[in-house]
Amino acid sequence: MWRKHQMHLKYIMQFNTEFESSMTKKYFGTDGIRGPVGVGSVTPEFILKLGWATGKVFEEQGHCKIVIGKDTRISGYMFESALEAGLVAAGADVQLLGPMPTPGIAYITRTLRANAGIVISASHNPHYDNGIKFFSNEGEKLADEIEHAIEQKMDEPLVVVESSKLGKASRVDDAAGRYIEFCKSTLPPMMDFSGLKMVVDCAHGSTYHIAPHVFSELGAQVIKIGAEPNGININDGCGATNPAALKEAVLLNSADLGVALDGDGDRLIMVDHLGEVLDGDEILYILAKTRLDEGRLGKPSVVGTQMTNLGVEHALKRLGIDLLRSDVGDRHVFQLMKQSGSILGGEGSGHIICADRTTTGDGIISALQVLEMMSRKSKRLHELKSDIQKYPQCMINVKLKSGEKFALTDEMSSAVKAVEKTLNGSGRVLLRPSGTEPVVRVMVEGEDLSLVKTLALDLSKTVERLLER
């Protein structure tokens, strides 16, 4: 049972505990392993060994079955083969899904009763990056202790089990169809989007053969873009990280709305009929408000992160909904959701978790929940977000020296307090080390854009000067 949890919401500096947690691991970062193909841990040799180590860890608990899925980047073929070879060498059975969204892999891992699921993807990154991340048998992020156990096995010599104990590999031919039906099942049985004209941008990623079918099978007229992957065009000028193409297509086709997913399908950005972009913060607000109106929110709280816009928090507060702030990262969002009993959580980047529908961030399912609310209330997307007045936010990255660990000093604290005093209670200041790159993120948020930019620039220069000492 999820434990009750109280979150202190005072706008003070918070630190990304995931940064320190990830530092205790040799290979795994904030969300598995990720980087440029052919560099460091993202090589065929390393991934082969990783597959073997993973198989050995799970085989110690009994004969295991591991599911592997991937996005559409060209290096996925190479790493799929390497993982398969390593797992089979350790005695584990493998089931290959082919191109599948990350949340789809989580779902199929559960339904096939596999011991774990492995995703080959670098999410919203360009094609020349790739990575590996894991799901547990419950479709959730793999526990830290299992990642530590896998890393320990990586230091052992690779020994192939005897031939009679080698694992077997097979393909799941109907993986896409299974996931399409699951997505549709998250809506009431008679929900029908007939008459809705929408653009769907698949980012040339793993939803290209899934998302358009989900929406069209529910009755919508779908105009698809970013649905012709060639191995290197994933996330290239399209998708959730580049909504300009979606905006143009919505306006050109006089569509009711647009949906943009990222390369692995766990992010969602939307565009209304006027071409205005809605990020994850606004989508989270819409889902929370409509669930509250219909008595389906449960506990009146949702989980955001340190970066969730203050305007969204104020809009939620007017509804009587508390915003609980976790560290940045969907893993942390989900953990706080479990602790607090909240059924909704998300990030401005578009990671939205509807825990009453699925176990992880899912762009397609989140979009379906918004479309359901539009249908129930007979309102356009633009109307659903009209209650929110987002505050200007400025973030500047200050580079750390190689191997340097960020430590807050008294002088930095004084500089932050000075900025907070200038904001006079109408904004926030945040310093946090990134969990994915060697930088300190300096963020200032407030009502006045010009003032916010000036304060963020001044504070970043102060932090940079103090770090150089």
Catalytic residues: 123
Q: Could you give phi then psi for residue 180, rounded to 5 degrees? A: -60, -45
Tokens of 264: 């692995």
Structural tokens at position 410: 């008294």
Closest Cα partner for 262 from 242, 247, 278?
242
- Provide CB contacts within 8 A for 10, sequence distance 6+: none
In contact, 294 and 264? CB cutoff 8 Å? no
Cα–Cα distance between 407 and 420 in angstroms, integer?
20
| Residue 137: how many other CB atoms lie within 10 Å | 18
Residue bearing tokens 């099978």: 217
CA distance 199 to 415: 46
Distance (Å, whole) CA 272 – CA 278 = 8
Dihedral sign for Cα atoms in the order 113, 114, 120, 122:
positive
Residue 137 near residue 113, CB atoms below 8 Å: yes
Dihedral (CA of 362, 368, 374, 377) sign: negative
Which among 199, 184, 30 is positioned nearest to 107, based on CA atoms? 184
The first and second tokens of residue 236, run together, are 């290239």
Q: Which residues have CB under 8 Å from 117's CB, separation 6+?
A: 66, 67, 68, 69, 105, 106, 108, 109, 134, 135, 139
Contact status, residue 434 vs residue 18, Cβ threshold 8 Å: no
